[in-house]
Amino acid sequence: MESKNVSRRSFMKSAAAVGVAAQAVPLFTARAQGAGRKFKVGLVGCGGRGAGALKQCVEAAKLVGAEVEVLAVADVFKEKAVRVGKLHGVPEAHCFDGFDGYRKILALPVDILLLATAPAFRPLHLEAAVAAGKHVFMEKPVAVDPPGARRVMAAGEVAKQKGLTIVAGTQRRHQEGYLKMAKALQDGLMGTITGGRISWCGGALWVRAREAGQDDAHYLANNWGNFVGMSGDHICEQHVHNIDVANWVIGKPPVSAVGFGGRARRESGDQFDFFSLDLDYGSELHIHSMCRQINGCYGGVWEQFVGTKGTFWGGGKMSTLDGKKLDLPEIKMISSDPYVQEHVDLLNSIIGNKGLNEAQNVATSTLTAIMGRIAAYTGELVRWSDLMEKKDSPFYNMACTPTADDFEKGPVVAPPDDVVAAPGSGEKKKAAKKPAAKKGK
C-alpha cells in the first residue's frame, strides 16, 4: 500500500532511488580540481544540438580548469560531420559518415562520447559506448519505445558497475531555479504535493522534405522529427522535459496514463500534433500533461505543482499559503547556462570519480512519455507495469520499426506519410485532409 501523499521523506527516499541526490551533489560543490586534465571527446549526431553540446563541453572544460580535444565526429551525412569537425580542428579522416560512424569513433581512444542523433538510435549507441568503457553525455529523449527505454536502463546499470559517468540532456536538473525548487521541496517548505499540471505547447517544428534520389534510411535520419519511430512523437521528443520535472519532484513515475491526442495540421510523417493526458501517480495524486505543436495557438512551456504548504513552478517561482518568505540556501552554479552546467557536472563527476549517472532518470521520464503516447494512440489506459513488468502485456514489446539496428543491416522502409494511429481501432488510418494554415502563420 502506498503512502497517502508524497511526503518530504518519500521524496528524499525515492529521489535517492532514482539518483536525484547523486546528481545534485556536484552542483553544490565548488569548482573541481580539473587542472591539467585533458579529455578526448567524440560526437555522434552533428546537427544543431550536437554542435551546441560539443561547444558547451569545450566551454565547461575551461570552467573546471581542464581541456577538451575533439578526436572525431560522426553523422549520417558526411558534410554535416565535416562542418562541425572543422570548427574543432578535426581532420576529415576523423569525420565519419554512415550509420556505423559511432563504431569508428569508439575504436579510437576517446574518453567521452556525446550522443545527439535522432532519439531512435540512443539505446544502441549508449550500449556500445558503455560496452567500450566510455563516459557519455546523451541528449533526451533516450528511446522511442518500451524495449528501447529498458535497454537504456540496463546500460545505465552496467555503466554504474563500471564507474562510468552518464549525463542526460534534461538540463532542468542542472538549472538553478529548478534546483531551488527541489531544495524547497526536500526541506518540506511546500508540504506534500497534491496535484499539478505540465505543458509544452508551441508551434510546428521543421519539415525536411525528401531530397532527389534520397533513400528511406537517409530520409528518416534527416526528417526524424516527424516520424514516431525516430523521435518518439513530440510528447517524447519535447514534452519529456516537463514530464521529467514531474517525475523528479514526485520521486517516481506515474502508475498509469490515460488520455487522447490527434493530428490536425502536421504536414509530414506519422505523428500526432496534440496530446492531453491524465498521469496517475497513485494515492490520489494526478498531473495533467498537455503538449501541442500547432501554429497560431496558445503557447506555454511550464510545470506547476500544488503542495499542502504552497504552490510552486518548475523554474523556481514559489509561494507559500501563509505568505511567509522562503528561507532557501543559495545554490552555487559554475555556469548560469544549464547547457554548459550539465557538461561541468559531467567533467566534475569524471574528475572526482563521483559516478554521476542520469540514465535511470531520463529513461524513466522517456518511458513515461511513451506510456502517454501509447495511451493516446490506442485509446486505452496504460499502466507502468505494462511497460516494465508484464511481459504478456500488448504494450511491453510494442516496438517502432525500422529499429536502430535495422539501419546497419541494409535498406529500411519508411512508414508512409499521413498514416497515423486511430484510437479505439487497433489500426493506423490515413489522416483527414488538413485545413489551410492561418494567414501569416
Task: State which of residues 19, 26, 42, 119 lies at the interface with ligand NAD (CB under 6 A).
Answer: 119
User: Is residue 90 a contact residue for ligand NAD (CB under 6 A)?
Assistant: no
Task: State which of residues 19, 26, 34, 47 lies at the interface with ligand NAD (CB under 6 A).
Answer: 47
* 186 class by beta-carbon count within 10 Å (0-12 exposed, 13-18 middle, 19+ buried): middle
Nearest residue to ligand NAD by CB is 47
The DSSP letter of residue 35 is: T
Query: How many residues interact with ligand NAD (rule CB under 6 A)?
Result: 26
Per CB under 6 A, which of residues 367..396 are in contact with ligand NAD?
Answer: none
Q: Is the peptide bond before 402 cis (omega within 30 degrees of 0)?
A: yes
x/- contact string, 142-181, with ligand NAD (CB under 6 A)? ---------------------------x-x----------
User: Is residue 116 a contact residue for ligand NAD (CB under 6 A)?
Assistant: yes
Kindly state the smallest distance separating residue 397's Cβ from ligand NAD, in Å: 22
Rounded distance between C-alpha atoms, residue 207 and residue 204, angstroms: 9
Rounded distance between C-alpha atoms, residue 441 and residue 438, angstroms: 6
Concatenating the DSSP letter of every residue in 51-102 gives HHHHHHHHHHHHHTT-EEEEEEEE-SSHHHHHHHHHHTT--GGGEE-STTHH
* Closer to ligand NAD by Cβ: residue 27 or 193: 27
- Per DSSP (E only), the strands in 223-271 are 256-262
Cβ atoms 32, 347 nearer than 8 A:
yes
Task: State which of residues 6, 44, 144, 166 lies at the interface with ligand NAD (CB under 6 A).
Answer: 44
User: Is residue 237 a contact residue for ligand NAD (CB under 6 A)?
Assistant: yes
Task: State which of residues 121, 227, 377, 395 lies at the interface with ligand NAD (CB under 6 A).
Answer: 121
Rounded distance between C-alpha atoms, residue 150 and residue 359, angstroms: 10
User: Is residue 343 a contact residue for ligand NAD (CB under 6 A)?
Assistant: no
Q: How far is CA 260 from CA 88, 289, 394, in A?
A: 45, 11, 19
Which spans in 282-390 are helix H?
338-351, 359-378, 384-388
Kindly state the smallest distance separating residue 75's Cβ from ligand NAD, in Å: 4
User: Is residue 137 a contact residue for ligand NAD (CB under 6 A)?
Assistant: no
User: Is residue 117 a contact residue for ligand NAD (CB under 6 A)?
Assistant: yes
CA 151 to chain centre: 15
x/- contact string, 283-312, with ligand NAD (CB under 6 A)? ------------------------------
* Torsion angle defined by CA atoms of residues 408, 82, 211 and 143, in that order, rounded to the nearest 10 degrees: 50
User: Is residue 94 a contact residue for ligand NAD (CB under 6 A)?
Assistant: no
Which spans of this chain sit near ligand NAD (rule: CB under 6 A)? 44-50, 74-77, 80, 99, 101, 116-119, 121, 139-140, 169, 171, 221-222, 237
